[in-house]
Structure 1
Amino acid sequence: MNIGEIARRAGVSRSTVSYALSGKRPVATSTRRRIQDVIDELGYRPNAAARALKEGRTRTIGLVIPPAGNRLTHMQLDFVASVVDAAARVDLDVLVSPSGRDHDRSFERLISVSRVDGVILMEISLEDSRVRRLQDAGLPFVGIGHTAGDQEMSWIDVDYAGLVRHCVRHLADLGHRRVALVTRSPELVAAGYGPAHRAREGFEKALAERGIDGVEVPCGDDARSGRECVTALLESHPDLTAVTTINEAALPGVQRALADAGLEVPYDFSLTAVAGRTWAEDFHPPLTAADVPALEMGEKAVSLLVERITTPDGPPRHILLAPSISLRSSTAAAPVGRRARTHPNGVR
């Protein structure tokens, strides 16, 4: 028995049967019911497709990632991997779609032709048009991250404000009197990227609480940008002795900039971050950081989305995680007398 025979007996085209089974395009309720009656009569079971048809679902969820032209950070890759693994455990497929820049059509296709039962959004801005679009479409969705007005959406996020605040307090308690916050790319910050703005909030509170000076700089999500960013910081703020960051992709460049300046971590300069545990532990020296549980967050996002799909009228759920700061080897007491820096021309 095949789709052609089902189509013949139901009096529809093969493509209509295919669309009914896959959910890729809408099919009239009466037609869907007629096709299902033939499937039941013939005992046809095309893997999970018949079950999806009975349930009126595609058994596919969408995962909306940053633009495809961007290199995903280790943390973002952990989110993707954990969502795919968690979805597979509950017999769901994942359709990955980029959004932003030139990818608006991809996002629109994802939600406008019944391709998925629900969506998980990554990289959410304080004011995010994708959230409004999903709300207007009535499609269940969950955020890894959240907007400023978050009461009508379910989400899981990290307390960037609180964690950056704790990182700066730790540095201040070690005697550092001028600290820099290295955030994400200028484009993301300008677009209202939530973690960057919340990190700024925590940074400014900690500076005021401890009575120390600070400077915030955006930085591209790559090692080269990290190197350029910190090189410029050291030149403009020679009394800078510590950096905290939410940009793990820039950290190798940050480290190279410090080495270029003849500064050794942690004896001459301290580093803290909000980053994935694996990234922090593999850093040299191991990084004092708030360890973001990216794998747990992706898994929980799938669980929240399944709740939204099965109970669409249920109240939105909000999960804000505040992992502890793991003290490793990248922080130490502020240097009493800064070691002379080695300039590119070799002059000390």
Structure 2
Amino acid sequence: MSSTKKPKQATRADVAKMAGVSESTVSYALTGVRPISDETRERIEEAMKTLGYVPNAMAQALASKKSGLLALLFPVGERGFDETDFEYVEAATAAAAEDGYQLLLWPNAVEDVASLRKIVAQGLVEGVLLMEVRAQDPRVEVLRDSGTPFCLIGRTDDSQDLTFVDADFSQWGPMALHHLLDLGHTNIGVISMSSDLLEAGYGPGVRTEKPLLDLAKRLGITITIKHAKATIRAGREAFEELTAEQPDITALIGFNEPALIGALEVAGARGINIPEDLSMLSFGISDEAENMTVPAQTTIGVDGRELGRMAAQYLVARLNGDKKSVLQYLTQPQFVDRGSTGLAPLGQK
């Protein structure tokens, strides 16, 4: 009868005995707290390999004052987590790993500053990436007060001394309007993010809508905006309301990935052809998301992978002691025509 007893796991004492050193010397080799000779380090590493010894990660972190962990603050409950968001997170995770850090997703609400204070006070993470940034974001003050290095993917209204990467949202609306006006569209609908996010000062929404409305007024373009929750059902309802109020709209701009899918479902059920009957353009969604609908969506946005990667690199630079460089990056919008916009239908320009 074979035994089911698990083999004894090697300990630090076992490593010390095989390497012919003290346990404290093994600790120094693991944490780097004190220098040891190359010859001694090699004996310790060889003993660890022979014994299959796996250091306790938390113990190492406590001893070295470094956890090797970064937190990415993303309040998932506010608008969900979609394919486009994943691009940022995936790229930031990969970039952090290249520098020896692991990235943990922390999904608590923006207003949950008490939990944030606790996590930084306990030293569980070395640095923080901040997403879904508000114009006035309470998390920024907590991180400043704690001395925790951080980088924003987004920016606050007062961001002069902050480390951040962001999109220049002020250009998105005007770029879309000029494109659609060149095609003859003067009555345009918009399905945007929820009014709750706008009222909370969510940067992308606030910085996109105002320039769009200001330019539309100067150009004589009719804009009707519907704010919707980030759900397919909400998008259906928003499109129904929009077309009831403005039956002559010839173009639709989406700034709400799930809701726009709902709008497309209603358009398809009604036999509305895109772009022959209705042109469609989306803001800020990934390549994968753009091609998940039929037809694929013409877009104005940014390279989320680039911003995610840069944010992680900026944060690591701060962790490595760079306190002087101005690490701020505002990327320009990219227009990609996938054929979902066309000439306004005759008689409805």
TM-score range, shorter chain: 0.7 to 0.9
Deviation, structure 1 residue 104: 4.5
Structure 2 residue aligned with 1:239: 248
Query: What are the within-5 Å matches in structure 2 for residues 281-292 of structure 1?
Result: 281-292=291-302
Task: Provide TM-score, normalisation by structure 2.
Answer: 0.81
**In the aligned structure 1, how far is the partner of 2:230 from the partner of 2:139?**
23
Gaps of 5+ in 2: 1-9, 17-21, 49-54
Q: Secondary structure at the match of 2:116?
A: helix
Tell which structure's C-alpha radius of gyration is larger: 2
Gaps of 5+ in 1: 11-16, 22-31, 339-348
Q: Secondary structure at the match of 2:236?
A: helix
Structure 1 residue aligned with 2:88: 79
Deviation, structure 1 residue 122: 0.7
2:312 matched to 1:302?
yes
**In the aligned structure 2, how far is the partner of 1:65 from the partner of 1:210?**
37
Structure 1 residue aligned with 2:197: 188
Deviation, structure 1 residue 105: 4.7
Q: What amino acid does structure 2 have at the position aligned with 1:138?
A: G
Say if 1:123 and 1:144, in contact at 8 Å, map to a contact too: yes
Q: Secondary structure at the match of 1:148?
A: coil
- Percent identity over the alignment? 28
Structure 2 residue aligned with 1:293: 303
2:168 matched to 1:173?
no
Structure 2 residue aligned with 1:220: 229
Q: What amino acid does structure 2 have at the position aligned with 1:144?
A: I
2:66 matched to 1:57?
yes
Deviation, structure 1 residue 155: 0.9
C-alpha RMSD of the superposition: 3.0
Stretch moving more, 287-296 or 113-122: 287-296
> For this pair of structures, how many residues does the alignment match?
316
Q: What amino acid does structure 1 have at the position aligned with 2:341?
A: T
Deviations 1:225-254 (A, max 9, x none): 111111101101122221212212222111
Say if 1:183 and 1:245, in contact at 8 Å, map to a contact too: yes
Q: What amino acid does structure 2 have at the position aligned with 1:318?
A: Q
Deviations 1:299-341 (A, max 9, x none): 1110010111112522442211113211121101111246xxx
Deviation, structure 1 residue 73: 1.5
Deviations 1:103-156 (A, max 9, x none): 545433332210111100110011100011111111111111111111121111
Deviation, structure 1 residue 9: 6.7
Structure 2 residue aligned with 1:89: 98
Task: Provide TM-score, normalisation by structure 1.
Answer: 0.81
2:343 matched to 1:329?
no
Distance 1:120 1:309, change over 3 A: same
Deviation, structure 1 residue 55: 6.2
Deviation, structure 1 residue 283: 2.5
Say if 2:171 and 2:333, in contact at 8 Å, map to a contact too: no
Structure 2 residue aligned with 1:110: 119
**In the aligned structure 2, how far is the partner of 1:217 from the partner of 1:266?**
21
Deviations 1:37-85 (A, max 9, x none): 5999895883877986786422211111123575302111111222222
Query: What are the within-5 Å matches in structure 2 for residues 189-204 of structure 1?
Result: 189-204=198-213
Q: Secondary structure at the match of 2:156?
A: coil
Say if 1:184 and 1:247, in contact at 8 Å, map to a contact too: yes
Say if 2:191 and 2:255, in contact at 8 Å, map to a contact too: yes
